[in-house]
Amino acid sequence: MKKLLIIISMTILAMVLISCQENMTLNTTDTPSETSTEVPTTDSMTTEEPTTEDVTNLPTDAPTEEPTTLEPTTEVPTEVPTEEPTTMEPTTMEPTTVEPTTVEPITEEPTTEEPTTEFVYDDRSLVPEECQFLDNIDDWQPIWCDEFNVDGLPDSSKWMYDVGGTGWGNNELQYYTNADLDNAFVEDGILNIRALKENVGTNDYTSARLITKYQGDWQYGRIQIRAKMPAGRGTWAAIWMLPTNWVYGGWPYSGEIDIMEYVGYDDGVIHGTIHTGAYNHGLGTQIGYSRSLETVEEEFHLYEMIWEPSSIKLFVDGIQFATFGYNPDTNIDVKNSDAWPFDEAFHLILNVAIGGNWGGVQGVDDSIFPTSMQVDYVRVFQKDYAGMDQENPTGVSQLVLQDTSYDSIRFKWKHATDDILVSHYNIYIDDTLIDQTTLNAIRINDLEPNTTYNLFIETEDFSGKTSPLVGYTVTTDDVPEAIGLIQAEDFYKASGVQTEQSEDDSTLNVGWIDDGDYMIYLLKVSEPGTYQISFRVASENQGGQIQLFTKNRFPHFTLTFEATGGWQTWTTVTTDTFTLTEGIQEFKILAVEGGFNLNYFEIVRIE
């Protein structure tokens, strides 16, 4: 009986403990801790962490509520019968086992929102303290300014001087002085650049040439100069720009921008011009515009330039009178920088010259002195292209192969677009960056003949964002073998000659060959050895003399032949033997004595 009572007591105690365990388990989820719904934040966090009821996701330093401790109770759970059994046989009575209910923690997936970065643009980010009084012009911010508010010499923190009297490349007559109040001074808010009739050395006149070099150098921008021009025959006033670093070589290869020029003898007409390696007044190919402005000497006018990649525009009093750009179709054989070197930093120049190749065309009227160019202000604006940018640029389109040779390829394309502005294009061969250009064309040189290349172009904007690559596969030309018959008109380069229809066959012949003219043929010698050439020539009355040059400075032979009696009366003349080395070579056929036509020549390997 004693054993039976012990068993009954143990059974009841087990039931109570099971019931307590079940209640404790349920309490952990039915009443979540208050601290579990609040996630502490730090300054480095940019988004609020989602709320979770799983206390295991709390940070290690989060406070947690102590679990409730339940004392054992003698109350029997409702699930367990309250009546005690009348008879409890220990051999047959098994304790009732109630499995505790397990409540899984709620693991609701947190809703994660992508962090949103609000675009912030400071439209005065480029403006220095001294220019804060100036308003923006649309997106253009004032970055450099001189209002000439302090009397005396021009501000030395902004202006330097070009000094001397050597003619300045234009046979000018003045001597430019250095910080001389007679020639450059500020008075009543106006800069005066004054030309005088006075002798300095061999020069009969003095003047000043102010420059911003190293004090104001800009790549792209909007430049405004409010000025009044000097009067009088012989003056040559200019507001213009030169490159600061001369990246592409001396004048004119690194460029010149003439925002405004005015020569006194051409009263009431202003001029705007650019000069480059291919287009300059030395060659007579400069590109310029002119505009009538009747009060140029009597009133102040606003002269302005807007310069952006591959574009320069000139204005007077807000009216555009000149536009300069790049045309890939008219510059196929022109080096990019020779056509458009305006992708480097330039500085501003203000000067009054006297005489010279242009200003002095009608001489100098000495009665006009002193005479001055007056400047009210100079203001320079730029856009924060990178700061405004939000999107990637597009790739180029309409990629066209314009020209191939044995060692170069030339492409053009339609300009890509950007939400602000394209900065330049990166040019790749396979995965190697080989060049960059702001223009919409490129010639790639120093390639191997008869070789396939994979070209890729990538657009890049001012913030460094890039476009997908746009590709083109091209094979360079092969070089003809230096063996067999070569038509005379198939020259690689030539000087002084022309072609015409030949009566010897259905091809063209080269004619109008004078002394010193030449034709160059690019040929490949596959086997070194001894060779001989036969020329098909015609000469009406004087014959001719030919020499051949390849790699050496001395000719391989000199061939002299007699007249044939007519320009289309043909004969074949043959050279002595000579040796050639292996490789691609330029064969220069020089007419030491002209007066003949050439239809073709044939190269034969003797041994």
Catalytic residues: 256, 261
If DSSP states are collapsed to H, E and C, what string results for 50-113? CCCCCHHHCCCCCCCCCCCCCCCCCCCCCCCCCCCCCCCCCCCCCCCCCCCCCCCCCCCCCCCC
- Residues 61 and 42: beta-carbon distance below 8 Å: no
Beta strand pairing status for 203-207 and 174-176? parallel
- Residues 541 and 563: beta-carbon distance below 8 Å: yes
Give the Cα separation of 59 and 39 in Å (integer): 8
In the block, which residue shows the tokens 């018959």?
485
CA geometry: angle 25, 30, 33, nearest 5 deg: 95
Describe the strand order of the beta sheet including 441-444 as a list of residue ranges: 397-404, 409-414, 441-444
- Residues 424 and 491: beta-carbon distance below 8 Å: no
The amino acid sitting at 323 is T
Long-range contacts, 198-206 (Cβ 8 Å, 24+): 200/165, 200/175, 201/165, 201/175, 202/165, 203/165, 203/173, 203/174, 203/175, 204/173, 205/173, 205/174, 205/175, 205/354, 205/355, 205/364, 205/369, 206/174, 206/175, 206/176, 206/177, 206/180, 206/182
The amino acid sitting at 251 is W
Give the max Cα distance, the chain: 155
Give the Cα separation of 258 and 240 in Å (integer): 4
Cα dihedral angle (205, 210, 213, 217), rounded to 10 degrees?
Answer: -140
What are the angstrom distances between the C-alpha of 437 and each of 246, 293, 343, 425? 17, 37, 9, 5
> 320: Cβ–Cβ under 8 A, 6 or more apart, which residues?
313, 314
- Residues 280 and 286: beta-carbon distance below 8 Å: yes
The neighbour count for residue 388, using CB atoms within 10 Å, is 18
Cα dihedral angle (339, 344, 350, 354), rounded to 10 degrees?
Answer: -40
Give the Cα separation of 227 and 212 in Å (integer): 17
- Residues 31 and 106: beta-carbon distance below 8 Å: no
Give the Cα separation of 452 and 473 in Å (integer): 7
- Residues 542 and 567: beta-carbon distance below 8 Å: no
Give the Cα separation of 331 and 440 in Å (integer): 11
The neighbour count for residue 299, using CB atoms within 10 Å, is 11
